[in-house]
Amino acid sequence: MIDNTVPQDGAVAAYWAEFCRAASVPESTPYQAWYFGDTPALAHELAELVLHGPKRATASLAWSNEAAPQAAPVPDGYSVITEFDGTPRAVIRTTSLETRELSAVDAQFAWDEGEGDRTLADWLDGHRRYFARECAQLGRTFSDDAPVALERFELLYPFDRALAAPDGPRIVPGYLPGAVGAVASLHAGYYGPAHGFGAFFEAKVARGFADFVERFDPARDGVWLVVDAGRICGSIVIDGSESASRSRQLAHLRWFVLDERLRGRGLGKRLLGAAMEFCRRAGFRLVYLNTFAGLDAARALYEHAGFRLVDEVDGETWGRTMREQRFEWTP
């Protein structure tokens, strides 16, 4: 079996602590440390593709994960990516995970893995050879029916490389520098002209989001940012802080916004989908959001995701009188 795990001490532990301090993630948060491939050259090449190229996915043999569960990919899990010798290079976070037979892997996954010429044929050629080597070590017979764990991830750290996302707009599952100001600016830029919200509203968003970032706990909270051309262009948050003091698992969906120039591409639906999948895995029994009447496009997204309107009343939460609404989702 190919064991590409790395001890979580020395330079790796220091690198993880550095990331945690910068991203307001508790240092006690579980993470894995490992390198790509089974040679120094391959580990370096693929780390470089994560940092400077299009690699946002990886595949592993499910049989190897069963034999070494400590190395198996984890939903929403953090990983420190290293060189073959354990030198840390990046922090990533898993965004999706599924298992398929090798023969069922599609061209989109091959493209997202970002290796070779990014075609399915090239992907299959390389992975058949790699998995055959693993099967030989495991004492198994390799075939195209072999189960493969397909993991998609996003780069979180170093921050400059995470912001320089390739292949157009991407959804990054974590904090990036400038997020507080960017999220407040996006809200002000949209709700100011469209609904007459002023400084009170922008300051309220900035204070609330900054407070959330400072107390962020990945076990109950989630933040997803849309990144494009080095800029933060959208966000959505699941704030699970209320669940800590209540008997039922309760979460608040907050700060859902997207730059106008990126609308119509399905990014809003993907943001909401990522947030709600996190809620399902976290076991929340109720998710609520507060908004106001007239945001028809957003309401359609909420209702499509399973939210329902439960309350409607006039109020001044946003600094002026609006028809305020509360939507709730239950599994």
Mean pLDDT of the chain: 94
Same domain for 210 and 84:
no
CA–CA gap between residue 259 and residue 263 (Å, rounded): 7
- The CATH number linked to 218 is 3.40.630.30
Distance between CA atoms of 226 and 258, rounded to whole angstroms? 8
How many Å apart are CA 153 and CA 174, to the nearest integer? Answer: 11
Report the alpha-carbon distance of residue 164 to residue 230 in Å, rounded: 5
Q: Which of 160, 190, 217 is the last residue of a domain?
A: 160
Q: How many domains does the chain have?
A: 2
37 and 108, same structural domain?
yes
Q: For residue 2, is it within any domain?
A: no
Q: Is the pLDDT of residue 27 over 60?
A: yes
- For range 284-293, the mean pLDDT: 95
Rounded to the nearest 5°, which phi and psi values hold at 154?
Answer: -130, 150
CATH number reported for the structural domain that contains residue 77 in this entry: 3.10.400.10
Question: Does residue 190 share a domain with residue 71?
Answer: no
Taking the C-alpha atoms of residue 74 and residue 92, their distance in angstroms, rounded to an integer, is: 12
The answer to whether residue 319 scores a pLDDT higher than 90 is: no
- The pLDDT-based confidence of 245 (bands split at 50, 70, 90) is low
d(CA 171, CA 226): 5
Residue-number span of the structural domain to which 37 is assigned: 10-160
Within a domain: 86? yes
Per-residue pLDDT band for 193 (boundaries 50, 70, 90) equals confident
* Rounded-to-integer distance, Cα 151 and Cα 113, Å: 9
Regarding whether 182 and 76 lie in a shared domain, the answer is no
Is residue 193 reached through a cis peptide bond, with omega within 30 degrees of 0 on the bond before it?
Answer: no
Residue 192: pLDDT band with limits 50, 70, 90? confident
pLDDT, position 244: 66
- Tell me the average pLDDT across 151-178: 94
**What average pLDDT does range 150-164 have in this prediction?**
96
- When pLDDT is cut at 50, 70 and 90, the band that residue 243 belongs to is confident
Of 110, 139, 160, the position where a domain reaches its end is 160
Q: How confident is the model at residue 194 (pLDDT cuts 50, 70, 90)?
A: confident
Q: Which amino acid, one-letter code, is at 219?
A: A
Per-residue pLDDT for 53 more than 90?
A: no
46 and 135 co-located in one domain: yes
Tens digits of residue pLDDT in 54-104: 999 999 999 999 998 888 999 999 999 999 999 999 999 999 999 999 999
CB 36 within 8 A of CB 82: no
- Do 178 and 120 lie in one domain? The reply is no
Are residue 137 and residue 270 in the same domain, yes or no?
no
Last residue of a domain, which of 130, 160, 190? 160
Residue 1's pLDDT is what? 62
Mean pLDDT for the stretch of residues 6-21: 97
- Phi then psi for residue 216, to 5 deg, are -55, 130
| Calpha distance 147→135 (Å, rounded) | 11
Residue 130 located in a structural domain: yes
